[in-house]
């Protein structure tokens, strides 16, 4: 494995501040990555505080084991298993949950992960390299209709069908096994592209999101976080993709509103069930200085909500 590139944590101070950390609280970092947020949370906790950090990437867990802090518990699992893992640890409620979505710089920059067309590498793209199907394996079996659906739904790719047909045609000469092979196929199939963007960008992003079930994982954990948060506990989510942010925005919006009843129903507003979340501030984005120092931060959006007193 090549040396791990440095990962620059996005919205580091803003995310930790948004958690409103209580020194003796119990917090969850759903995406440990390379530990930027986790280290900052530990620095804000007191001796009785606790941090439970999830990551499905074995390399991230390996980095986490270098942190010699008894307050930190590492969990090698996708964050969709949040509730089950907390039960296994004997934790019923927590004071805050942070989700920093997307991929880390090392995952993009390590050629062997196969997530970038900048390198010629095996077409893998799995976040957890210890289990599951690679993109190459899936493309070898998927139909044109299935490939089209993934590229369209996860990458918002206008030329999804043309790319899918080109991939199917290329398979007749053997498996599409490397990043450069796939990038070349897409480049020939895409007629036009946004200035400054490689023709394969959307396709690579779509296949990565699909093979790791990133949107499904997010949809599964959000309700569990609300059920496990103590009153006053914060949910902080940083998204890097419009589809992710849409899920988070709608979830927080819906959970912060009373149920929508028929307009003519004779029920007073005060008698309606109260929402389980309250929105905290507006969506936050990195400032110009952070984007200049770390261009990958430019698409980040952070949303924050607080658990109300309403019973789960």
DSSP codes of every residue in 164-228:
HHHHHHHHTTS---BHHHHHHHHHHH-----TTS-TTHHHHHHHHHHHTTHHHHHHHHHHHHHHH
Write out the two tokens for 169: 């045609």
Predicted pLDDT of residue 5? 47
Q: Is the pLDDT of residue 286 over 80?
A: yes
User: So what's the pLDDT on residue 173?
Assistant: 83
**Measured distance CA(254)–CA(247) in Å, rounded:** 11
**Cα 218 to Cα 109, 127, 130, 155, 249, distances in angstroms:** 24, 15, 21, 17, 12
Tell me the C-alpha distance between 123 and 183, whole Å: 10
Cα-atom radius of gyration of the chain, to the nearest Å? Answer: 21
Binding residue positions for S-adenosyl-L-methionine: 35-37, 55, 79, 100, 107
**What domains appear along the chain, each with residue ranges and CATH number?**
12-106+214-307 (3.40.50.150), 129-211 (1.10.150.170)
pLDDT digits (tens, 9 = 90+) for 84-109: 999 999 999 999 999 999 777 777 77
| Contact yes or no for 189/174 (Cβ under 8 A) | no
Tokens of 107: 């995952």
Q: What is the Cα–Cα distance from 276 to 255, expressed in whole angstroms?
A: 6
pTM of the model: 0.90
Dump pLDDT digits (tens) for 3-59: 444 667 899 999 999 999 999 999 999 999 989 999 999 999 999 999 999 999 999
Q: Provide the annotated binding site.
A: 35-37, 55, 79, 100, 107
Is residue 259 very low, low, confident or very high in pLDDT (cuts 50, 70, 90)?
low
Give the mean pLDDT of the chain. 91
């Amino acid at each position: 494995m090549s040396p791990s590139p440095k990962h620059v944590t996005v919205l580091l101070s803003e995310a930790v501040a948004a958690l409103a950390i209580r020194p003796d609280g119990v917090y969850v970092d759903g995406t440990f990555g390379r530990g930027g947020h986790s280290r900052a949370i530990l620095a804000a906790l007191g001796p009785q505080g606790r941090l439970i950090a999830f990551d499905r990437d074995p390399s991230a867990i390996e980095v986490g084991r270098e942190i010699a802090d008894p307050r930190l518990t590492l969990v090698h699992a996708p964050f969709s298993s949040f509730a089950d893992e907390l039960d296994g640890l004997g934790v019923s409620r927590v004071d805050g949950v942070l989700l920093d979505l997307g991929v880390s710089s090392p995952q993009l920059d390590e050629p062997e992960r196969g997530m970038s067309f900048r390198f010629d590498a095996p077409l893998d793209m799995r976040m957890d390299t210890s289990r599951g199907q690679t993109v190459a394996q899936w493309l070898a079996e998927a139909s044109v209709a299935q490939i089209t659906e993934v590229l369209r739904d996860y990458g918002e790719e206008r030329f999804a069908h043309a790319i899918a047909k080109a991939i199917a045609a290329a398979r007749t000469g053997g498996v599409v096994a490397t990043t450069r092979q796939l990038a070349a196929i897409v480049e020939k199939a895409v007629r036009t592209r946004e200035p400054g963007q490689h023709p394969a960008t959307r396709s690579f992003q779509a296949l990565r999101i699909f093979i790791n079930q990133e949107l499904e994982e997010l949809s599964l954990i959000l309700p569990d976080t609300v059920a496990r948060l103590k009153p006053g506990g914060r949910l902080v989510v940083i998204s890097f993709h419009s589809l992710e942010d849409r899920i988070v925005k709608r979830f927080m919006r819906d959970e912060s509103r009373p149920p929508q009843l028929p307009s003519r129903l004779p029920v007073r507003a005060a008698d309606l069930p109260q929402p389980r979340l309250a929105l905290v501030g507006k969506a936050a984005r990195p400032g110009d200085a952070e984007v200049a120092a770390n261009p990958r931060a430019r698409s980040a959006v952070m949303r924050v909500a607080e658990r109300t007193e309403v019973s789960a």
